């Protein structure tokens, strides 16, 4: 590992200034991804600015009924927060579906958003990888790509985004609050992540020195039921092959009032399934309608031989999650014990 200087930042402005002064500096929070990548030689910072103990760890309900999640809140603190358990249940489930409790105790919300792909070739400095070393090529196309993306890829990169948390945040229309030397700004999560195109080395639109200070959630849509489901090779402690965060509200006549669907494991970023949502909104939500809307979302998929199974798996998983939500809504139309109206 390359030697590095280490300093603990006292406040966010100091952290931002420290990074601005050194192009080879990186922020360190929980370190569960960055330290690993430094051991592998994938990340080689000359300086770490530790932001984990900045006073940015509050999880607070906002006056408009939303939630403001400080960037240094741990995954554990977020998943167990009463407001998250009660009003954003798919977010709590998504966080708890990721990693292990040991890792969730260290990992932070800001760091989770910025974690890198677990593509084997990105993590292996002996192999070509356009994301790690632009212009060297992509070893995954001809290699092991079972875990990688089928949507939003480019000829240069087929990496998948590994976060569970971010998938639920996408479904809840999260915004990311960022501090830079120019001041604070807010970005919709969908604008925060970028697709690889011909610049796969850039996962997000952030610039050097930008510090995530919080994630903001608007109030959950009234009357929705929500769930997160993750499909993986073992029952726990594994990355998603496919995951789905879904929100659903049925109108009294049974039609779809509100629906939001986000996928993990299938794209370079959390994939909000807008085509499927548009197809479903206002119409019936039987299994047939759900399946055909979800298949529409994947018409643009460009799977590789080793991950073509993900298209069918994603459609089936989301169909099942939404069917379960629809049936639960039908069983207790005025809101059962798990509905957000009661929370």
Partner 1 sequence: MSAGGRRTRVGIQATVELMVNGDRHSLPVDTRTTLLDALRERLALTGTKKGCDQGQCGACTVLVDGARVNSCLLLAVAADGAEVVTVEGLASPDGALHPLQQAFVTHDAFQCGYCTPGQLCSGVGAIAEAAAGEPSLVTPPEAGGRGEPVPLGEEEIRERMSGNLCRCAAYPGIAAAVAEAAAALGGEPAPGLEPGPDPEEVSR
Q: Residue numbers of the site for partner 1 (CB under 8 A)?
A: 1-6, 8, 28, 31-32, 35-36, 38-39, 48, 50, 52, 76, 79-82, 84-86, 89, 92-93, 96-97, 99-103, 105-106, 235-237, 337-338
Task: State in angstroms the smallest separation of the CB of 229 from partner 1.
Answer: 11
| 46 vs 182 by CB, closer to partner 1 | 46
| Cβ nearer to partner 1, comparing 42 with 301 | 42
Nearest to 324 by CA among 247, 232, 266: 247
- Residue 78 has φ and ψ, to the nearest 5°, of -70, -50
Query: Is residue 69 within 8 Å of residue 95, measured between CB atoms?
Result: no
Report yes or no: 71 and 210 within 8 Å, Cβ to Cβ: no
| Tokens 């986000």, located at residue | 262
23/21 Cα distance (integer angstroms): 7
Q: How far is the CB of 184 from partner 1 (least distance, A)?
A: 26
Cβ distance to partner 1 smaller for residue 53 or 186: 53
Mapped onto helix, strand or coil, the DSSP state of residue 294 is helix
β-strands 5-8, 47-50: how paired? parallel
Residue placing its CB nearer to partner 1 in the complex, 39 or 334: 39
| Cα 137 → chain centroid | 26
Q: Which is nearer to partner 1, 14 or 36 (CB)?
A: 36
By beta-carbon proximity to partner 1, the closer residue of 31 and 254 is 31
Rounded (5°) CA angle 179-85-69: 10
Q: Tell me the closest approach of the beta carbon of residue 95 to partner 1, in angstroms.
A: 9
Judged by DSSP in three states, 157 sits in strand
> Cα separation of 77 and 90, whole Å?
15
Q: What is the largest CA-CA distance in the chain?
A: 64
Side-chain-side CA neighbours of residue 285 (13 Å): 33
- Report the nearest approach of partner 1 to the CB of residue 103 (Å): 6
We find the least distance from the C-beta atom of residue 143 to partner 1, in angstroms, to be 20
φ/ψ of residue 144, rounded to 5? -85, 110
Q: Of all helices (H) and strands (E), which one includes residue 315?
A: helix 309-331
What's the min distance (Å) between Cβ of 288 and partner 1?
A: 28
Q: Bridge partners of 7?
A: 49
Rounded to a whole number of angstroms, the minimum distance from the CB of residue 146 to partner 1 is 17
| Residue number, 211 or 311, with CB nearest to partner 1 | 211
Least spacing, CB of residue 102 vs partner 1, in Å: 5
**3-state SS, residue 6:** strand
**Which one, 32 or 130, has the nearer CB to partner 1?**
32
Least distance in Å: CB of 286 to partner 1? 25
Distance CA 120, CA 173 (A): 30
Residue placing its CB nearer to partner 1 in the complex, 36 or 289: 36
Opening angle at CA 89, ends 83 and 92, nearest 5: 85
């Amino acid at each position: 590992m390359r030697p590095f200087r280490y300093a603990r930042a006292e406040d966010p402005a100091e952290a931002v200034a420290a990074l601005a002064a050194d192009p080879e500096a990186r922020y360190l929070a929980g370190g569960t991804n960055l330290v690993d990548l430094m051991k592998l030689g994938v990340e080689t910072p000359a300086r770490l600015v530790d932001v984990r103990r900045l006073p940015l760890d509050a999880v607070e309900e906002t006056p408009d009924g939303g939630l403001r999640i400080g960037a240094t809140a741990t995954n554990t603190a977020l998943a167990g927060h009463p407001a998250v358990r009660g009003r954003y249940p798919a977010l709590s489930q998504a966080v708890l579906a990721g990693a292990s409790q040991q890792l969730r105790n260290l990992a932070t919300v800001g760091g989770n958003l910025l974690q890198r792909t677990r593509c084997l070739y990105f993590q292996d400095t002996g192999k070509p990888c356009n994301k790690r070393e632009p212009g060297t090529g992509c070893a995954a196309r001809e290699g092991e790509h079972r875990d990688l993306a089928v949507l939003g890829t480019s000829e240069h990169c087929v990496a998948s985004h590994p976060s569970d948390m971010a998938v639920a945040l996408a479904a809840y229309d999260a915004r990311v609050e960022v501090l830079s030397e120019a001041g604070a700004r807010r970005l919709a999560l969908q604008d925060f992540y970028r697709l690889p195109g011909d610049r796969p080395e850039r996962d997000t639109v952030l610039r050097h020195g930008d510090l995530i200070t919080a994630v903001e959630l608007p109030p959950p849509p009234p009357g929705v039921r929500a769930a997160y489901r993750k499909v993986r090779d073992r029952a726990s402690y594994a990355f998603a092959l496919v995951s789905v965060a879904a929100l659903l509200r049925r109108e009294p006549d049974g039609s779809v009032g509100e629906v939001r669907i986000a996928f993990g494991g299938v794209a370079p970023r959390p994939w909000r399934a807008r085509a499927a949502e548009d197809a479903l909104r206002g119409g019936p939500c039987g299994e047939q309608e759900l399946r055909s809307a979800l298949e529409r979302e994947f018409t643009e998929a460009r799977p590789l031989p080793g991950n073509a199974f993900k298209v069918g798996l994603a459609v089936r998983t989301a169909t099942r999650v939404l069917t379960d939500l629809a049936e639960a809504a039908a069983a207790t139309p005025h809101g059962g014990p798990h509905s957000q109206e009661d929370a």
